[in-house]
Structure 1
Amino acid sequence: MQRPVKVPGSDRDVVKSLYVHVRYSITDTDPYRIAGMNASQFTRATPHVIIWLAVQTFVVVALGVLLGGESLRSVVMTASLAIIALRMAVTVLMLLPRPMPASEAFVVGLWLLIIYITFGLLSLRNPEPFGVWGWIGLALFIEGSFINTVSEFQRLRFKRKPENRGKLYTGGLFSFAMHINYTGDIELAIGAALIAGHWLAGLIPVAMAALFVFVHIPRLDAHLAQKYGQDFQRYRESTAKLIPWIY
C-alpha cells in the first residue's frame, strides 16, 4: 500500500482554500469554519476586489480634489464619501462571509461609482451655504453609518461563535428590524443627499430603498425562510421588516 505523500505547509493551505471554495458552493454555512479556518486566514483580496477598491479610492480622492476645502459643504461631502469607501472596504474584506465574485464586484462597484459621482458633483454645483438641512443631513449620515456598521459587526460576532452555528441571529440592532443594516444604508444615503443640497441627489436614496424593498429583501426573506424555517417565521411575525415599529 502506497504511503500518503505529506503536503508541505504552503501546499496544505492551497488545498484547504480549494476545499473551502468547493464546499461553500454546495452549502450555505460559513466557509471558514468548514475548513477549520477563520476569516483572517483566508484572503478575500482577490485581483478584481483589489482593482475595485483601487478604482473606488481613486474616484473618491479625485472628487475630494475637485471639491476642495473652500466651503463647509465640500469638506463634509469629501469626508462622507471617504467614510462610505472605507466602510465598503471593511465590509468586503472583513464582514462578507464569502469571497466576492467578479460579477458582483462589478455591479456593486458601478453602483458605488454612481453614488460617489452623483453626490460629489451635485455638491460641487451647489453654491448655497451649508445651513440647517446640511447639518441634519450630517446627523442622518452619521447615524445611518453607525446603524449599518454596528449591526453587521454584531451579527458577525454572533456567527463566529461555534455554538451559534446554524442559528438565526435576531439580537442587537436586528431585534428592531429584520433588515436594520439596509435601514442604515438608506438613512446614510438620505443624509448624503441633504449634504449635497440638490434635489437630484434625492434620487439615490429613493432608488436604494426601491431596490431593497422590491428586490433584495424579498430574495433574502425567501432564502432565510428556507434555511431557518419556523425560527424565521416567528422572527418575521414579531419584528418589523425595515423601519422599526412601522414597516
Structure 2
Amino acid sequence: MRAPRLASVLAGACVLAAGCTTTVDGTAVDRAPAAVSGPVRALDAVLPTADELSSVLGIAPTGLMGQLVAGGADTLLRGVDRAEATPVECVSTTYRLQQAVYGASSVRSVASRSWAAGSVDGPALSGFFGAVQLASPAEAQAFFAAAAQDWRECDGQTMRLRRGSASERSRITEVRVDERVVSAVVVHEAGQGSGMPIQRALGVAGDSIVDVEITDIAGARSAGAGAAVDVAALMLEKLTG
C-alpha cells in the first residue's frame, strides 16, 4: 500500500473512533484509591512494532505506523464527554484511551500510536494501541477491576452518544473477561447506517493498563475480538518482561 493512502486511513480511523480532534470537557468518576506515585517511565517500548504485529496477527510486515504520542495525562484523547453518553459506564468499552475514562486516576505516563496494514487495494486491518501508567499496581488493578465490571454489564447494550443534533449508537457484544484482559466487539453506527465491527481489549500488568482497538476492514477476523486480545497479551508481556 502506498504510504499516503495508509496515512489517510490512519487519519480517518482517528476521526471515526472519536478520539483525535475534538476537545470536550467531562467529569470522570473516581475509580481507584489514592496511592503513592511511582516514578514516571516511558511506555513507548510497550507499544507493538510492525514486525511484532506481523507475527501476532499473521500478516505481512508492511503496515504503516502512525506518529508516537507520549507524555502525561494531557495526551489522553478527549473525543467523548461523559455527559453526552448513555449509559456512561459503557464509554470505556466503546472508545479508546479517553480522558473521560482515565482522568480521575493518578495517570503518570501515557504512550499511544495508530497503525494500518494492507495492500494496494486497501488496508485489511487498522489499529490503535495505548498504554497508561498509573500511580501504583494497586491503583492499576482497581482500575482494571472496575472497568471489567463495566464491560461485563455493558455486554448486549447499545451506548448512545449525543452531540447536539448528531448522534451515534454503539452496539456492544461478545464481552469476555479473564484475569488480566477484558475484550469486546463494538459496532459504531452513525445515524441509521450500519457500522464496521471494532475489536476492543483492555489489559493490566503491574502499574499499567494497555488499551487496544483493532478494526478488521476486510472482515476476515470479524468473529470475536481475538486479534485485539492477542495484541494486548503481547503488550502485557513487554510490560512484565
TM-score (normalizing by structure 1): 0.31
From the CA coordinates, give the structure whose radius of gyration is larger.
Answer: 1
Determine which structure has the larger helix proportion and give its number: 1
Determine which structure has the larger strand proportion and give its number: 2
